[in-house]
């Protein structure tokens, strides 16, 4: 899962590939700003960057087939791409076993 950055007491950004601690901190701040990280229960988000681009993965249980949830993550991805100046971003919705259930290309 990579290197863990504790964005709050209960929530982490796990980063790998060429993603840096600064990238993880910036993503953690965005997640707090939009209310996804609210320090109420444990959550982990995965951040991976390589030569093909950046992927941010969220464990969503069964939400990958809910159009409202997918729309929220697409909007979130567009904001993150702009805020963090990321190109070739994918939002990955994954299950509890880290299997990709839905991939949302952003740019």
Divide the 107 residues of the chain into consecutive groups of 10 and give the mean pLDDT of each group: 92 96 96 94 95 94 87 93 89 93 93
**Nearest residue to 47 (alpha-carbon basis) of 85, 99, 12:** 12
Q: Can you give the pTM of this predicted structure?
A: 0.93
3-state SS class at 48:
strand
**Could you identify the residue written with the tokens 């709050």?**
8
């Amino acid at each position: 899962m990579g290197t863990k950055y504790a964005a709050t007491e209960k929530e982490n950004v796990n980063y790998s590939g060429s993603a840096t601690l600064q990238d993880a901190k910036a993503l953690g701040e965005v997640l707090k700003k939009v209310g996804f990280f609210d320090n109420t229960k444990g959550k982990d988000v995965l951040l991976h960057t390589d030569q093909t681009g950046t992927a941010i993965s969220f464990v969503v249980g069964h939400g990958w087939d809910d159009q409202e949830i997918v729309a929220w993550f697409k909007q979130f991805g567009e904001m993150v791409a702009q805020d963090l100046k990321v190109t070739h971003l994918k939002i990955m919705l994954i299950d509890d076993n880290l299997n990709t259930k839905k991939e949302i290309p952003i740019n």
